[in-house]
Amino acid sequence: MSVSATVAGIQTVNAAITGVTSAPTAMPASLNSSALPFAITIPGPAVWKNASAGFGHQLRIYIVRFFVAPIARDITADGGFQDALTLIQAVGDAYMADTTFGGVVQTVVSDGPQDGIIDNGVVANMTYGSEGTPYWGFEFQVVTKETETW
């Protein structure tokens, strides 16, 4: 599967998660509060390994960032945090329910030094692009393995 097809597939899963308002495949210039919670998938580092006779595989980390609420929006400090807590569980449940992301991922790696589906927990300092606005949010890393022919 191509990198762009995998990004689109992960974003399709993200868009279907209850609580996610926006999961585009194109990177917007800025975040609009009406689009929150917002998910974006970014292809991260990869290892390309050649086996034999033109076959090999690609191990890639897809970084999925969820921006839940701007810190300044909340009347209480706990508001955005609680929203992020609810959403992080929903995302983890959705990812574990279908580790092929609708068939766009061959397999999620489960036997390496950095495997599977990892989240970084809820954080209060996520920023988007050059905006500088701190958001409550979290990041998932999805480590995939795709068989390739060259």
Q: How much is the mean pLDDT over the chain?
A: 88
Q: pTM for the full model? A: 0.90
SS3 88: helix
Burial 17-49, CB ≥16 within 10 A → b, else e: beebebbeeeeeeebeeebbbbbbbeeeeeeee
Q: What is the CATH number of the domain that holds 92?
A: 3.30.70
CA 111/CA 37 separation, integer angstroms: 32
Q: Which of 95-99, 109-113, 132-136 has the lowest average pLDDT?
A: 109-113
Count of the separate structural domains present in the chain: 1
Nearest to 122 by CA among 70, 83, 76, 93: 83
Question: Which range of residues forms the domain containing residue 114?
Answer: 3-26+33-149
User: Is the predicted pLDDT of residue 57 greater than 90, yes or no?
Assistant: no
Is the CB of residue 149 less than 8 Å from the CB of residue 54?
A: yes
